[in-house]
Amino acid sequence: MTGLPPRNKVGLVGTGMVGASFAYALMQSGVANELILIDADEARAEGEAMDLNHGMPFVSPMRIRAGGYDLLAGCDLTVITAGANQRPGQTRLELIQKNAGVIRDIVPKVVAANPRGTILVATNPVDVLTEIAAEVAGLPPGHVFGSGTTLDTARFRFLIGDYFDINPQSVHAYILGEHGDSAVPAWSMAKIAGIPIADFLGRDGRRADATVMQRIYEQTRDAAYEIIQRKKSTYYAIGLALRTVVEAVLRNEQTVLTVCSPIRGLFGIDGISLSLPTIVGHGGAETVLQSPISPAEIELLRKSASILREMYESVRA
């Protein structure tokens, strides 16, 4: 595609279902002018590029190409979704041994081709792999970060909105910590129209008591397992989540998202990546916020960090 300015260029390493769903969502957003697709299965990446390009008459012009890592030169952001998929009954943390090796192989190639770009990790377990990717990349703070609990937070908001029959975009609530079993629901910060969830009265007199809140949290935590049991994998919602993060970077939106990045000192946590509300802009995870969560939630967050740090140490090079 000629005539496009050399800006808003995005790379994607891994064109499985998550990567392809993200590419499809990004293509429709109109925010990027160029997308590079890379996969160990070169034919797969080429096929995805062909299929996406055939939809170009229906969207804003952009250039989509498949090829090698050299094509990543000049990318504002490279998204990594490559790695083994989570199997039914398997936790995200059980994926770590194989996918740690994948990240250690891919990240140096990305940095060599594009040393000034930003890297967004989506491969699971994303918290541990983001820590490994940041260590391997050696880029400035914030330039390597992960999708974290952006999807968990979206599920959380959807379920709260569904319970109260309210648009989830009107729900302000966050899932912190691990993208997985030790995720922390920040109920102390959850609000609708500025009203704390515990005090919110629905149109039918509905309230969220402790039992309801626990059920919503469990549904949020277990959503991936439920979906995988039914359709083998999850990809649409994470594809949209990744598009949202990428838009925040390309547009320098300064949007607060629950991405994960290396935490060094907040809430007494050090030496591991996990998710906290973070200002995301052109520099990636630019500012991690020390949100006013309750003492009980801080303790749960520290426990989540301890679990992740133990897993990280088990695969540390």
Q: Which two tokens stand for residue 99?
A: 């996918």
Place of tokens 């970077």: 249
Residue 199, φ and ψ in degrees, nearest 5? -105, -5
179 classed as catalytic: yes
CA distance 277 to 271: 18
- Helices and strands of the chain, counted as H and E runs: 8, 16
Q: Catalytic residue among 54, 143, 179, 282, which?
A: 179
Q: Which two tokens stand for residue 152?
A: 């968990």
Report cis status (omega within 30 of 0) of the bond before 292.
Answer: no
- Residue 119, sorted as left (phi over 0), alpha (psi -120 to 50) or beta, turns out to be beta
Q: Is 46 helix (H, G, I), strand (E, B) or coil?
A: helix
Spatial contact of 101 and 87, defined as CB atoms under 8 Å apart: no
CA distance 232 to 242: 20
Q: How far is CA 103 from the centre of its chain?
A: 15
Query: What does the DSSP assignment read for 116-134?
Result: TSEEEE-SSSHHHHHHHHH
Active site residues: 179
